[in-house]
Amino acid sequence: MPIPVLKPTRERQLIRAGHRIVAGLDEVGRGPLAGPVVAAAVVLDLKRVPSGLTDSKALSAARREELFLEIVASAAVGVASVPADEIDRRNIRQASLLAMCRALEALPMPVDAALVDGNDPPHLPCPVHTVVGGDASIPSIAAASIVAKVIRDRTMRRLAGAHPAYGFDTNAGYGTASHRRALVETGPCPYHRLSFAPLKPAPTVV
């Protein structure tokens, strides 16, 4: 099934409304047992929107890498992450929102409006417009989804080199059966989220 071509309609509407610079934001990595949550903010050049943008989960790893190179070559990009120990201290929701705030700060210019995937807006220093399913319908959010996914997958592959028992290079930290077996046999590494089940101890029943 061909991927529909996304047009920057929402971005153009905001620009016509007076928001000169519009960023799309998304995060990846809320569900894994290990690794950071990563967010990206992308300001597209609307005259050079890469073809084939969509939700990163709908793309092959090879296609994500191709689009990543096109995005960073033509757009302004900010990326940020929140590591596992900070996720444990804050909780995953707060960590995800914080990662998006940090990603916006990492852009090389101030932003006049932000389009954010989902319905849980981060507190940003500009108007925020949430879009459920935005990673599959809004080009700048789709681009952010792709950038965040590629960066996080690369991070997990690097962690796999230091901690090969868990298969981070293939499971990206998600709780696959082999990953869970490795946790039983080896225990967690410093990049595991100790606040996540099954790593978090079950409450004691008195």
The pLDDT assigned to 134 comes to 97
Alpha-carbon span 129 to 66, nearest angstrom: 28
Q: How many CB atoms lie within 10 A of CB 92?
A: 18
Nearest CA-CA partner of 34 in 79, 80, 87: 87
Does 196 reside within a domain? no
pLDDT tier for residue 200 given thresholds of 50, 70 and 90: confident
For residues 7 and 54, the answer to whether their CB atoms sit within 8 Å is no
**Closest to 175 (Cα-Cα) out of 35, 45, 54, 51:** 35
Task: Give the per-residue pLDDT at 202.
Answer: 63
Domain CATH for 58: 3.30.420.10
Q: Evaluate whether residue 3 is within a structural domain.
A: no
CA distances from 137 to 36, 74, 120, 185 (A): 26, 20, 17, 43
Expressed as residue numbers, the domain containing 101 is: 9-186
Helix, strand and coil in the chain, % to nearest 5: 45, 15, 40
Q: Is residue 1 part of a domain?
A: no
Binned at pLDDT 50, 70 and 90, residue 5 comes out as: confident
Q: What is the CA angle 58-13-10, rounded to 5?
A: 10
Residue 204 lies in a domain: no
- Total domains in the chain come to 1
143 lies in a domain?
A: yes
pTM of the model: 0.94
pLDDT band at 201 (very low <50, low <70, confident <90, very high): confident
pLDDT of 1 > 60? The answer is no
